[in-house]
Amino acid sequence: MANDVVAVVASIEYRLAPEHRLPAAYEDAVEALHWIKTSQADDWLRSYVDYSNVFLVGSSAGGNIAYNAGLRAAAGDDLAPEIKGLILVQPFFSGTRRTGSELRLANEPHLALCYNDALWKLSLPVGVNRDHEFCNPTAGNGPARLEMIRRLGWWVLVTGCGGDPLVDRQVQLVRLMQSKGVRVVGHFTPGAYHGIQDSEPLKAKELYGVIKTFIHALSAQQ
């Protein structure tokens, strides 16, 4: 990804559920952002990293983490570097009300609906359901939280595919962002499946091309 996008990529580790339920992963991601900001004294990083052009990128569960960590950073941006936007690749969201794609692809072998539900049961705070804002950005206070992203002028790229049970959720997020005045680009392709870029190198290269085009288009506007 670093080679194809032409970017310095910092890949972070985070605490995992069920031993560490959400928001532990979000807290770890924000801590990593704080490290990025304070690492500017490092000679090598200062020579190669453009700290004014930082994007939070995540795929699947990582897309959920990038989204929620981004919102946390926006709420306390004194701890974060200058973030330009979010890149959410097949972001992992859900809700209590089933979408058309979830029902149509309930037995999809790469992400069956029962598996999806089990992951959320193990990851969400005890006592909440899938309409919690960590899981469903369109429910509760989720839409209001987007005001921070709009105010900061971040750009957001959301990618997905028609064979992913979560695709309707991802499209809903793009439409919600558009309705809230967030500058968002949706890139959706037919067919495929959740996580295809992790197992098919050609699909990964296609994705990196989309990300590179998105980032460079924004840089050209500066």
Amino acid at 103: L
Which of 175, 1, 170, 155 shows the shortest CA–CA distance to 93? 170
Cβ contacts of 216 within 8 Å, gap of 6 or more: none
Which of 120, 140, 51, 130 shows the shortest CA–CA distance to 98? 130
Question: Which of 94, 101, 132, 164 does the annotation list as catalytic?
Answer: 164
Residue 64 in contact with residue 34, Cβ under 8 Å? no
Residue 108 in contact with residue 78, Cβ under 8 Å? no
Active site residue 60: yes
CA angle 90, 56, 190 (to 5 degrees): 20
Tokens of 206: 């296609």
Which of 118, 135, 111 shows the shortest CA–CA distance to 194? 111
Question: Which of 60, 94, 101, 123 does the annotation list as catalytic?
Answer: 60
Active site residue 164: yes
Question: Which of 94, 123, 168, 194 does the annotation list as catalytic?
Answer: 194
Amino acid at 95: G
174: number of Cβ within 10 Å: 20
Cα separation, 148 vs 168, whole angstroms: 24
Which residues are catalytically annotated?
60, 164, 194
